[in-house]
């Protein structure tokens, strides 16, 4: 198992104050809250962070805050994904300068870039000098990369692994078979146990922000061979996730964080606030499955 990249990594939410600016004090509190639970690292400025609703300067300052608060006690992966290659490389250079352990990126999106263009983008990131995780997330409209595309990257040791937000566990298994030392993080929270069974080294997830203990328990049970205990904990997590899917995952995660004492404010528009009825139903489901 990789000594740095394994286990449970919350994909950090971004706290905002009432004026809509990033609340760095609340971010530090969220990091400390999860470090105290025993998480192995943090994934910074990914989808869960509302990354594409942030300016690049905000993304840089968020990463600086995380690296400062973590202070080497857990791993930090900086998501630097952008449509533009030069912008992504700028974020990657900053990540290296402030002490992140690795960078990650979705493929450049929207314009239907060719694989040759996507390959150039990722090799430019690899040239910065930090290990690179490719973020496989086709459900969000990203480029569809094949197993052969991934193995082309993984043949280069600068590409340390993949954040696999996909239900294609055959691909996950094939990537581990191709390069056993590659680090594969499961991306869909509701499939964490399935990902571990297929060979994932851990998981990166949104709901880890407020219930990392469930995923830590799933992993412990799985590694100990207690599959029934792992399935029972995954079931409880999935009951909460099903409720989140009905009302909006990222706004719902912030509601549940506030419920447990981590007030992260609201999401940036065009995200909408949950109704009082939605909040009550979500909190009730959470309390039934803690």
121 catalytically annotated: no
- Residue 32 phi, psi dihedral angles, 5° rounding: -65, -40
Instruction: Count CA atoms within 13 Å of residue 11 on its CB side.
Output: 26
Quote the Cα angle for 81-181-235, to 5°: 70
List the alpha helices (DSSP H) in the chain.
24-37, 56-70, 85-98, 115-126, 147-154, 169-178, 192-198, 208-223, 227-247, 249-259, 276-288
Q: Which tokens in the block code for residue 171?
A: 């691909």
Cα separation, 286 vs 78, whole angstroms: 29
| 40 CB-near residues (< 8 Å, 6+ apart) | 6, 7, 8, 9, 74, 75, 202
Instruction: Provide the CA 143 distance to its chain's centre, in angstroms.
Output: 18
CA-wise closest residue to 60 among 105, 100, 16: 100
Catalytic residue among 60, 122, 163, 286: 163
Q: How far apart are CA 173 and CA 198, in angstroms?
A: 6
Q: Is residue 163 among the annotated active site residues?
A: yes
Catalytic residue among 43, 135, 208, 286: 135
What is the rounded CA–CA span in Å between residue 105 and residue 94?
14
Handedness of CA 87, 74, 286, 219 (dihedral sign): positive
Written as six digits, the tokens of 106 are 């979705």
CB atoms near residue 220 (< 10 Å): 13
Write out the two tokens for 99: 């002490």
Where in the sequence numbering do the catalytic residues fall? 135, 163
């Amino acid at each position: 198992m990789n000594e740095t990249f394994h286990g449970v990594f919350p994909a950090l939410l971004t706290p905002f104050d009432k004026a809509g600016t990033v609340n760095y004090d609340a971010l530090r509190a969220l990091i400390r809250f999860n470090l105290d639970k025993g998480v192995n690292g943090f994934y910074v400025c990914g989808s869960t962070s509302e990354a594409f609703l942030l300016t690049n300067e905000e993304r840089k300052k968020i990463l600086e805050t995380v690296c400062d608060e973590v202070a080497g006690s857990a791993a930090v992966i900086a998501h630097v994904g952008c449509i533009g290659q030069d912008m992504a490389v700028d974020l990657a250079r900053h990540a290296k300068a402030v002490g992140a352990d690795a960078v990650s990126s979705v493929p450049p999106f929207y314009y239907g870039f060719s694989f040759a263009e996507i390959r150039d983008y990722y090799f430019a990131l690899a040239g910065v000098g930090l290990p690179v995780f490719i973020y496989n997330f086709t459900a969000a409209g990203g480029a569809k990369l094949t197993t052969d595309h991934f193995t082309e990257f993984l043949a280069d040791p600068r590409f340390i692994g993949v954040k696999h937000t996909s239900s294609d566990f055959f691909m996950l298994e094939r990537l581990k078979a191709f390069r056993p030392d590659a680090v594969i993080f499961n991306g869909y929270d509701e499939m964490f146990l399935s990902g571990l069974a297929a060979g994932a080294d851990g998981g990166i997830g949104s709901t880890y922000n407020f219930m990392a203990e469930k995923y830590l328990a799933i992993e412990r049970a799985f590694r100990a061979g207690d599959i029934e205990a792992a399935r029972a904990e995954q079931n409880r997590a999935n009951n909460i996730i099903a409720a989140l899917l009905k009302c909006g995952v990222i706004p719902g995660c912030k509601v549940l964080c506030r419920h447990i004492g981590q007030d992260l404010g609201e999401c940036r528009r065009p995200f909408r606030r949950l109704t009082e009825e939605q909040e009550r139903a979500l909190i009730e489901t959470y309390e039934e499955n803690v």
